[in-house]
């Protein structure tokens, strides 16, 4: 008998922190080993997981490529580009909705709820499905559980959008150790600090968002000097423009308006994306659509394409100039420009950037992967595996509070290095006042109504005092994730002052907790369903085998009791077969197995005897 020694390597193996690029169009997961950052491919060998989910008629959620395929047939049960909806209320997304096939459910003022089939999902829940898929891919590849992650967000994401991303991570069972801004992550991946110290601009035009960040690199410190952007500008806008044009063509040529036909619009979306991508390499191409036996075809030259999208590309230049101004730099002072995001493959984008910064942009790294690679580097920094680099990022938007007359008083200015803090003192206006309401906003405008409401903080249970006597110190702190934390102290008593937080957009903590719980239950349900399926397969196998064996001579050699025992075991197994309890099914498979032991032995003996005789059985 051989003896095996089991050595537990698990304790020696450090838990890996993965880096995740949760993109508008595609998402990726990466990790860092001794040789550098690497993107992890899924079981299908694909490195990009489309950020698409689709609910099947059976209530199963498809994610990634499978969902992208289902999108054509079931656009109303699928969601894509959900990143555009993160941290948004219904009033924010009117324009988007005209092009999205999915429906918005009731009660979407502070958090959107998307109707898929009979169920509704919030954007963080949808994103959590994508994150869970990436988590599974990483676990399969690394051979160990993955519970900690760095997730990237557009630099210009506001507090609610960041919080929504963090919520998505939590719902997916990930401890989000850090949110990193995408352009900053990209600069880490490029390892530009190895070459020399200098000033770098990162131009990041993705599927749905645009960011520009300017950084100073010095001795491994990546200090962001300024950032700017537009969270509503990207390749999607180019696609939508081409789709609108094609729909108008079709309406004229066919006399049919396809704009409300989800399936046709999705087919057209694919066609225009293919044409757009080709035009980065060839001077002319065609947009083609075959739908229900009809054919649409339109020539598109690069020149015409560039004229069609010039204003979209130009919209990125304003934020670039503002960013230069905020950094206190002239274009000539930028040493390097890094290009990130699939849309930077478009020649017009490259030439516009080159003209503005008067520097040839870096395009060596795959613009689809560079952000995920950078996230993996940041994960390694957090793990302590990389010690010579440090990222110092900024908050993209000013933070303020509403004061008399709806005017915003700025507490933390945009482009302040984070973590950043500000302290304000509050008091009461009337005798015996028990609470003070603080309205916190983000944005650059003077009036509260023109800024983004972030939350209302209620300092409550104040001691009743004459007006102006209460002295409450409130500390606003933007953490390294760019998310606001607020703490208050009663200066008279020195005690912590309780605050009630009402976020203007997004989920409350309780809602997130409920979703986490539900997702665990769902995961358990899924697991149980799979085990039941597997147990039934086993039951089928043995039932078929026994059925066949009963035709065998060996069956007749059994005693009546033995035959009776087999019949009982078969009946019992058939009774529990449809129960949703894999333990029960397994137990009865085992029982049938035991009851047929003698039969199997007899059959084996017969087989051996026959074989020795040289006759076939």
Distance CA 50, CA 47 (A): 10
Distance CA 511, CA 98 (A): 28
Distance CA 264, CA 252 (A): 16
Number of residues located near other proteins, criterion CB under 8 A: 23
User: Is residue 16 helix, strand or coil?
Assistant: coil
Task: Write out 557-571 in H/E/C secondary structure.
Answer: CCCHHHHHHHHHHHH
Residues 6+ apart with CB under 8 A from 143: none
Q: Which CB atom, from 346 or from 381, has the smaller least distance to other proteins?
A: 381
- Residue 198 found at the interface with other proteins (CB under 8 A): no
| Residue 83 annotated as catalytic | yes
Q: Which CB atom, from 177 or from 339, has the smaller least distance to other proteins?
A: 177
**Which region, judged by CB under 8 A, interacts with other proteins, from 299-307, 357-365, 377-385, 437-445?**
377-385
Contacting other proteins within 419-478 (CB under 8 A): 419-421, 477
**Which region, judged by CB under 8 A, interacts with other proteins, from 111-119, 204-212, 379-387, 500-508?**
379-387
**Which region, judged by CB under 8 A, interacts with other proteins, from 88-96, 334-342, 415-423, 554-562?**
415-423
Q: Which residue in 384, 405, 494, 560 binds other proteins (CB under 8 A)?
A: 384
- Residue 486 found at the interface with other proteins (CB under 8 A): no
Q: Which CB atom, from 199 or from 543, has the smaller least distance to other proteins?
A: 199
Least separation in angstroms between residue 542's CB and other proteins is 50
Q: Which CB atom, from 351 or from 485, has the smaller least distance to other proteins?
A: 485
Q: Which CB atom, from 421 or from 433, has the smaller least distance to other proteins?
A: 421
Residue 98: count other Cβ atoms within 10 Å of its Cβ.
10
Q: Which CB atom, from 258 or from 412, has the smaller least distance to other proteins?
A: 412
Q: Where are the beta strands (DSSP E) in 90-209?
A: 103-104, 114-116, 119-121, 148-153, 175-181, 198-205
Q: Residue 394 has what DSSP assignment?
A: B
Least separation in angstroms between residue 476's CB and other proteins is 10
Kindly report the length of the chain. 617
- Residue 418 found at the interface with other proteins (CB under 8 A): yes
Contacting other proteins within 139-178 (CB under 8 A): 177-178
Answer whether 153's CB lies under 8 Å from 165's CB. yes
Q: Which CB atom, from 235 or from 482, has the smaller least distance to other proteins?
A: 482
β-sheet with 119-121: strand ranges across:
103-104, 114-116, 119-121
The pairing of beta strand 221-230 with beta strand 390-392:
parallel
Indicate the helix (H) or strand (E) that contains 69. Answer: helix 65-73
Torsion sign, CA atoms 53, 56, 59, 62: negative
Q: Which residue in 99, 359, 383, 549 binds other proteins (CB under 8 A)?
A: 383
The pairing of beta strand 499-503 with beta strand 210-218:
unpaired
Distance CA 368, CA 63 (A): 19
Q: Which CB atom, from 15 or from 556, has the smaller least distance to other proteins?
A: 15
Least separation in angstroms between residue 459's CB and other proteins is 21
- Residue 221 found at the interface with other proteins (CB under 8 A): yes
Distance CA 508, CA 15 (A): 30
Termini Cα distance of the chain = 35
- Residue 416 found at the interface with other proteins (CB under 8 A): yes
- The pair phi, psi for residue 393, each rounded to 5°, is -100, 175
Least separation in angstroms between residue 383's CB and other proteins is 7
- Residue 13 found at the interface with other proteins (CB under 8 A): no
**Which region, judged by CB under 8 A, interacts with other proteins, from 384-392, 463-471, 581-589, 602-610?**
384-392
- Residue 218 found at the interface with other proteins (CB under 8 A): yes
**Which region, judged by CB under 8 A, interacts with other proteins, from 200-208, 411-419, 424-432, 544-552?**
411-419
Torsion of CA 468, 473, 474, 478, to 10 degrees: 150
| Residue 182 annotated as catalytic | yes
Q: Which CB atom, from 150 or from 546, has the smaller least distance to other proteins?
A: 150
Catalytic residue among 125, 167, 182, 237: 182
Catalytic residue among 193, 204, 236, 369: 204
Establish how many alpha carbons lie within 13 A of residue 418's alpha carbon, considering only the half-sphere containing its beta carbon.
Answer: 28
| Residue 21 annotated as catalytic | yes
Q: Which CB atom, from 331 or from 419, has the smaller least distance to other proteins?
A: 419
- The pair phi, psi for residue 548, each rounded to 5°, is -70, -40
Q: Which residue in 304, 390, 527, 608 binds other proteins (CB under 8 A)?
A: 390
| Residue 204 annotated as catalytic | yes
- Residue 106 found at the interface with other proteins (CB under 8 A): no
Catalytic residue among 21, 125, 211, 368: 21
Distance CA 245, CA 571 (A): 66
Answer whether 104's CB lies under 8 Å from 97's CB. yes
Least separation in angstroms between residue 381's CB and other proteins is 6
Q: Which residue in 392, 491, 576, 600 binds other proteins (CB under 8 A)?
A: 392
Q: Residue 269 has what DSSP assignment?
A: H
Least separation in angstroms between residue 59's CB and other proteins is 38
Phi-psi region of 384 (alpha: psi -120 to 50; beta: other; left: phi over 0): left
List active site positions. Answer: 21, 83, 182, 204
Q: Which residues bind other proteins (CB under 8 A)?
A: 177-178, 218-219, 221, 223, 378, 381-384, 390-392, 416-421, 477, 479-480
């Amino acid at each position: 008998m051989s003896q095996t020694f089991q050595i537990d390597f698990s304790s020696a193996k450090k838990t890996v922190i993965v880096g995740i690029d949760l993109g508008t169009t595609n998402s990726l997961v990466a990790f860092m080993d001794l040789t550098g950052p690497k993107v992890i491919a899924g079981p299908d060998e694909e490195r990009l997981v489309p950020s698409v989910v689709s609910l099947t008629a059976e209530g199963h959620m498809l994610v990634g490529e499978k969902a992208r395929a289902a999108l054509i047939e079931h656009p109303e049960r699928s969601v894509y580009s959900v990143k555009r909806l993160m941290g948004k209320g219904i009033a924010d997304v009117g324009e988007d909705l005209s092009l999205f096939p999915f429906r918005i459910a009731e009660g979407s003022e502070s958090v959107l709820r998307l109707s898929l089939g009979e169920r509704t999902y919030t954007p963080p829940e949808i994103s959590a499905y994508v994150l869970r898929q990436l988590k599974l891919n990483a676990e399969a590849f690394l051979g160990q559980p993955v519970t900690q992650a760095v997730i990237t967000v557009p630099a210009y994401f506001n507090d609610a959008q960041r919080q929504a991303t963090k919520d998505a991570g939590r719902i997916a069972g990930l401890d989000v150790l850090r949110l990193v801004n995408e352009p900053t992550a990209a600069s880490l991946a490029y390892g530009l600090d190895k070459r020399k110290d200098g000033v770098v601009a990162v131009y990041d035009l993705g599927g749905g968002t645009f960011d520009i960040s300017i950084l100073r690199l010095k001795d491994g410190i990546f200090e962001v000097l300024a950032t700017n952007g537009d969270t509503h500008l990207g390749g999607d806008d180019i696609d939508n423009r081409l789709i609108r044009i094609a729909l108008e063509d079709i309406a004229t040529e066919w006399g049919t308006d396809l704009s409300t036909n989800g399936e046709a619009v999705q087919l057209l979306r694919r066609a225009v994306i293919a044409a757009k991508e080709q035009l980065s390499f060839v001077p002319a191409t065609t947009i083609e659509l075959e739908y229900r036996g009809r054919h649409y075809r339109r020539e598109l030259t690069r020149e015409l394409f560039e004229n069609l999208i010039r204003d979209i590309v130009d919209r990125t230049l304003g934020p670039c100039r503002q960013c230069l101004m905020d950094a206190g730099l002239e274009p000539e002072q930028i040493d390097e420009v890094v290009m990130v995001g699939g849309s930077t493959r478009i020649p017009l984008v490259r030439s516009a950037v080159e003209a503005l910064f008067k520097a040839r942009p870096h395009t060596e790294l795959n613009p689809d992967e560079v952000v995920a690679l950078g996230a993996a580097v940041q994960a390694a920094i957090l793990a302590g595996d990389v010690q010579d680099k440090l990222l110092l990022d900024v908050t993209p938007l000013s933070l303020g509070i509403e004061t008399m007359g709806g005017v915003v008083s700025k507490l933390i200015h945009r482009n302040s290095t984070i973590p950043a803090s500000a302290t304000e003192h509050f008091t009461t206006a009337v005798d015996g006042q028990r609470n003070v309401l603080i309205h916190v906003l983000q944005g650059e405008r003077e009036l509260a109504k023109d800024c983004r409401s972030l939350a209302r903080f209620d300092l409550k249970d104040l001691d009743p005092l004459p007006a102006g006597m209460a002295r409450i110190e409130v500390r606003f702190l933007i953490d390294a994730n760019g998310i606001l934390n607020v703490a208050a102290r009663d200066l008279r008593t020195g005690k912590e002052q309780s605050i009630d937080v009402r976020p203007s957009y997004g989920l409350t903590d309780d809602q997130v907790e409920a979703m986490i719980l539900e997702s665990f239950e769902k995961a358990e349900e899924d697991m149980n369903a799979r085990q039941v399926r597997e147990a039934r397969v086993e039951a089928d196998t043995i039932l078929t085998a026994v059925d066949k064996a009963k035709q065998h001579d060996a069956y007749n050699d059994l005693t009546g009791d033995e035959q009776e025992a087999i019949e009982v075991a078969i009946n019992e197994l058939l009774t529990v077969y449809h129960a949703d309890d894999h333990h029960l099914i397994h137990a009865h498979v085992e029982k049938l197995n035991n009851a047929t032991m003698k039969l199997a032995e007899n059959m084996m003996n017969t087989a051996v005897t026959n074989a020795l005789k040289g006759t076939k059985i």
